[in-house]
Amino acid sequence: MSSKTQTFISGNGVLVTTRGPGKVHLISYASNGGLPNHVGTITTANDGETRFIISHSYTFTQYAFYWEGKGEAVFSVGDQLVRQAVGNGWNKAITVPYGGQPSTGDVSGQVSSAVQRDNEVTCFIIPALI
C-alpha cells in the first residue's frame, strides 16, 4: 500500500461530494485513549453540490460514514481521481481506518454506545469558493 492511498497520512483526507440537501453521518470509534465512540451529523441545505472533508482525531483509529439525502454521494481519498459511492446506512457505511484504505462495512454495533455530537464531529463542509 503506498502512502498516497493511506488515509489521514501525508495529507490524504477523505473527500465526500454530495448533491442536494441531506446530511453526512460520521462515527469515530476505537479510541486509543479510552474515550467513548462519538457519532454525529453535518447537514447541508444546498440544492447543488456540497463537498465535505472527513478529518481525524489522534484519539480514534477508526471512522465510518454514510450519506442520508435526496441526491447521490461519492468519496475519494487525497488527490485520487477514483470516486466511489457512499452507503446510505450504518450497515453499509464506508469504514476508514487510520493509515489504511476505505471499505464498506457494518458498524451499527458501534453506534449504540456512541456519544451524540451533531455538528461537532470531524467532518467539515468545504466552502464553495475553495
Domain-located, residue 38: yes
Whether the Cβ atoms of residue 72 and residue 66 lie closer than 8 Å to each other: no
Domain-located, residue 45: yes
Q: Give the total number of structural domains in the chain.
A: 1
Residue span of the structural domain in which 121 resides: 14-126
pLDDT band at residue 3 under the 50/70/90 scheme: very low
Buried/exposed code over 26-46 (b: 16+ C-beta within 10 A; e: otherwise): bbbbebeeeeebbbbbbebeb
Domain-located, residue 117: yes
CA dihedral of 102, 73, 22, 40, whole degrees rounded to 10? 0
pTM of the model: 0.91
Domain-located, residue 5: no
Domain-located, residue 41: yes
Domain-located, residue 8: no
33-77 per-position pLDDT tens digit: 999 999 999 999 999 999 999 988 889 999 999 999 989 999 999
Cell of 85: 459511492
